[in-house]
Amino acid sequence: MIKKLTSFGALLCLSFTAFADVSVIINKSNTNQLDKEEIVKIFLGKSQAFPDGNTVIPVNLTSSETRSEFDSNILGRSSSQINAYWSKAIFTGAGNPPKEVTSESELLKLVANNPNVIGYVDSNLVDVSVKVINL
């Protein structure tokens, strides 16, 4: 019994380490401070501007572990719920989903080169070219 519990505990620990720690990033020249609620509004198309009034361009990753973690931990919904949300928005004409890129390195470059872009990457990939939003 103890051996089974030990094995289960080890497996549980390993499963938690498989999840990515996600950092929301903006251009390092961007002076805006954002909270989680504002980030949710931006990525759900309910806000089109940073608090300073400048246009915001949210960019998502295509399907990935980082995207799944962002959807669940930041947006508070599963990736399938987010996809359903955007399908309905497109069908009703209420909005269009954020642009998507296929890699975190591509997203880092976009954010570093455009002060209006907001995105997210695995925290281990953050470099000095971008600024992390503290949540």
Looking up residue 38, the CATH number of its domain turns out to be 3.40.190.10
Instruction: Tell me how far CA of residue 123 lies from CA of 3, 20, 70, 127, in angstroms.
Output: 35, 8, 11, 9
Tokens of residue 20, six digits: 């990515």
Residue-number span of the structural domain to which 42 is assigned: 21-133
Q: Is residue 39 part of a domain?
A: yes
pLDDT at 135: 87
Taking each helix axis from N to C terminus, what angle separates 79-92 and 65-73, rounded to the nearest 10 degrees?
80
Among candidate residues 65, 25, 28, 22, the one with its CA nearest the CA of residue 42:
25
Among candidate residues 121, 93, 92, 91, the one with its CA nearest the CA of residue 108:
121
Q: Is residue 95 part of a domain?
A: yes
CB contact at 8 A, 24 and 118: yes
Helices (H), 18-116: 36-43, 65-73, 79-92, 104-113
Q: Is residue 16 part of a domain?
A: no
Per-residue pLDDT of the chain in tens (135 residues, 90 and over written 9)? 565 545 555 544 444 444 569 999 999 999 999 999 999 999 999 999 999 999 999 999 998 999 999 999 999 999 999 999 999 999 999 999 999 999 999 999 999 999 999 999 999 999 999 999 998
Q: Is residue 11 part of a domain?
A: no
Q: Is residue 2 part of a domain?
A: no
Number of domains in the chain: 1
